[in-house]
A and B are shown apart, each in its own frame.
Chain A
């Protein structure tokens, strides 16, 4: 009996030993996808060559060839990452027919390790959103309760991992887009230090703060994935040298004696009492493991969401300007149009959230307004970074709930963009300051998951994963009811 619920580490060990036939596992995964996709809609497209690739890999191992360390593992990929000769839509009508002509760096690294990309995961259009409701192809559903949102923007990634449609996934995190759905779907979701993973081939939304991040079933799986995709990339000038760090080694070092700061500004007004309780439980568990926890206030956090939306809208306005439908895009002939009227017409195919942010992005950095908005936002970013750097002089790690509220119903907040914005308050700090952060599944309350977030200083990703692993070991969670 094929166990689709297996962790990534277990999978590759069994597959390499020949105890799992890749063909069988991929076949069963595709069956699973077939049977649950109607309810979940985690995928925008499925790799129709997955079974052929699986058979090739089985042959490879039978003939005694060397195999990659991600051998035969089905991975879902957020649909904003380029896989050569595959559709990459960003869940947008604008890129409905865009076939990527090259592989993203993370994709080519995983390809080399014999991974199988089982499908492209649903997301909010161009990663703008935190519910996956802004996908132009319809929302994904939370496998814990399909009336609820799975979080976003990497909603499809989180759903596919938590509902066993794949073993692991790659998402991208601009303001919480990996951690938020991980928290809502009860998976591990990690945003590394800015520059640790190459962004080459990831379709930019807000390039100065976003990162690729794995979504997995265990913290160890995240460390395993990180080992495969982290490191300097000549194609991305913002990548940093990690000296080939092994994030899996000594992952069970524990957190004895580590100092952890509790970010009070992320547990104030508007927090759901259940989330607050869960966070307090997590803190006492960490203390039980020998950590020293103490409250800390980051004053700038209260301005962080405003700064985040100002900066991301500015960058998005520029990054998405290339979607003029001239070189690629959807079917809309140019004949009879003057250039400017064509592009303004073509760009009406952006969805409501993207349009909203493009309009903001045209305004906040414009001459006469930049001083009041964009430059002020940049000041907040600088001050927040200073503040968190000070905090890390005193603490090894920081803790807060990943999302201050429980998952909510689909449609519940879609018409209230401002209340949606505020849900980002606990996640954007890591992006604005470039720090690594991780969401760990911690509790299920009334059938809905709660994740706990840990943050560490830049390039302390290994310490962060060790702490996350320690916390993860303290809880046993029920299985997803789908």
Chain B
């Protein structure tokens, strides 16, 4: 029996400023140590100035994960020495002296399974250490404090995962949820990191630290389970220890440091008064909270009769569901959803492609309408979409430029239909005995018209000419 628990660190990348000063939360574009001030650099005499917006965003995350939210939250100091920690203590949250973290216990569902959340805490990110030089003798350690003080939410789960697959599913759901809330962009480098604890057969718990991405988290837990299973099979005891994920070798390595023995001497951070989060604030946040992924999904299914599968894909991606919301009308919703999930998601599969794409919601709406009115066939619409992404031209311009308009002129289409019937006597006979096979002939007409023929009209003409 495998048990995996997670500690996920997520930067609130969408905030303007750091947790305790007005330096930018988005530190990524700065030269080293350019995004710092006396507060986040821990200069003597400076004091933390709590970013109230960060408290609100973290509370939103707690509410979205169905966690309890206390009336009052407090901050604590976690004391330890490390070169990336300007004050040699980290301002964080705790629940050991009562529920004072931004989020208490909660649950999140992955399929039929419920994963219990232990707590959610708001804390500051440390700086970054950069090692330069190849040999250990010549190696120099550089510290960049640009990241120090970035608002970080830590989500701690109970050891409720049984397989790395469940871990991955959970992380995907969590990542979509955070994006949907508009609090973070998990795709940014270093925006989401995790530690995992793994045990097998009720044995000792092993902490794995230093996992830089969700992808590696799945790999690391997989490796660790295999390692522990093999020890277990050979009756070798599994040590309770902390291991590090070696990103290069893709294995976990025992940490020689005595990190697990550190005494953090937690105590209340006196420089930040308790923050009241009264019911009015919670109600206000609830109103401001975007619709949950589940609720979106259900709405898509019940209101627009979109298939469960399409609704699922569409609702869990904030970018595309926002696009859907902007593009659809009562009548074209299903069509818009189909274009997005069957075509667009494949064409815009990277962040870069999304950013360079010239497609707007208006394009999408017009394209869906054009399909529905028969101005363009579903087949040709793919080509139109391609062109729009690149050029940003209007739907009608693209259709006429690329000559994608449907062949809906009956006399013209009739000529083609007659030619196909003449060319395919065997198929015509088959269609007479089994109406289903007429689709082969429809396909032939489509081929001949490069997909521009109106499918309904084609079918009707074929039936009429064959006499069925």
Contact = CB atoms under 8 A, between A and B. Distances in A.
Interface of A: 80-82, 88, 90, 95, 98, 100-102, 104, 199-204, 207-209, 234-238, 314-315, 317-318, 321-322, 324, 326-328, 339-340, 343, 362, 365-367, 370, 374
Contacts of B86: 322, 327
Contact of B45 (A200, A238, A317, A370): A200
A203 B267 contact: no
26 contacts: A80-B45, A82-B44, A82-B45, A88-B44, A90-B44, A100-B44, A100-B45, A102-B43, A102-B45, A102-B46, A199-B47, A203-B45, A234-B49, A236-B47, A236-B49, A236-B271, A237-B47, A237-B48, A237-B50, A237-B272, A314-B267, A315-B267, A321-B81, A322-B42, A327-B86, A340-B81
A315 B265 CA distance: 10
Contacts of B48: 237
A321 B47 contact: no
B270 A208 contact: yes
Interface in B366-391: none
B44 to A, nearest CB: 5
Contacts of B272: 237-238
Contact of A322 (B44, B263, B270): B44
B77 A318 contact: yes
A242 B178 CA distance: 41
Contacts of B70: none
B88 interface: yes
Contact of B87 (A102, A321, A370): A321
Contacts of B87: 321-322
Nearest to B89: A318
Main secondary structure of the interface of B (DSSP, over half): loop
Interface string B19-58: 0000000000000000000100111111111100000000
Interface size class of B (residues with CB under 8 A): 20 to 34
Interface in B58-89: 77, 79, 81-83, 86-89
B237 interface: no
Contacts of A370: 265
Contacts of A203: 44-45
Contact of B88 (A199, A201, A321): A321
Contacts of A365: 265-267
Nearest to A202: B45
A157 B14 CA distance: 47
Contacts of B46: 102, 200-201
Interface in B250-279: 263, 265-268, 270-273
A213 B42 CA distance: 24
B33 to A, nearest CB: 10
A367 B268 CA distance: 15
Interface core residue of A203, A207, A317, A318 (most chain B CB under 10 Å) = A318
Contacts of B88: 321-322, 324
Contacts of B273: 237-238
A102 B21 CA distance: 14
Contact of A201 (B45, B267, B270): B45
A314 B44 CA distance: 18
Contacts of A374: 267
A202 B50 CA distance: 18
A202 to B, nearest CB: 6
Contacts of A324: 81, 88
Nearest to A103: B45
B263 A366 contact: yes
Contacts of B44: 82, 88, 90, 95, 98, 100, 203-204, 322, 328
Contact of B270 (A88, A100, A238): A238
B265 A318 contact: yes
A288 B211 CA distance: 74
A339 B79 contact: no
Interface in B110-163: 141, 143
Contacts of A101: 38, 43
A275 to B, nearest CB: 32
Nearest to A339: B83
A200 B20 CA distance: 13
Interface core residue of B38, B41, B50, B265 (most chain A CB under 10 Å) = B265
A328 B293 CA distance: 49
Contacts of A207: 47, 270-271
Contacts of B79: 317-318, 321
A26 B44 CA distance: 30
A343 B50 CA distance: 29
A237 B81 contact: no
Contacts of B265: 314, 317-318, 362, 365-367, 370
Contacts of A234: 49
Contacts of B82: 339
A115 B133 CA distance: 51
A235 B45 contact: no
Nearest to A206: B270
Nearest to B38: A102
B271 A237 contact: yes
A321 B265 CA distance: 12
Q: Considering the complex of A and B, which 9 residue pairs feature the smallest CB-CB distances, nearest first?
A: A208-B270, A321-B88, A201-B45, A203-B44, A365-B265, A82-B45, A203-B45, A322-B87, A367-B263
Contacts of A202: 45
B263 A200 contact: no
Given A236-B49, A237-B47, A340-B81, 15 more contacts: A90-B44, A102-B45, A104-B45, A199-B47, A200-B47, A203-B45, A204-B45, A317-B79, A322-B88, A324-B81, A327-B43, A343-B81, A365-B266, A366-B263, A367-B265
Nearest to B39: A235
A1 to B, nearest CB: 40
B38 A326 contact: no
Contacts of A95: 44
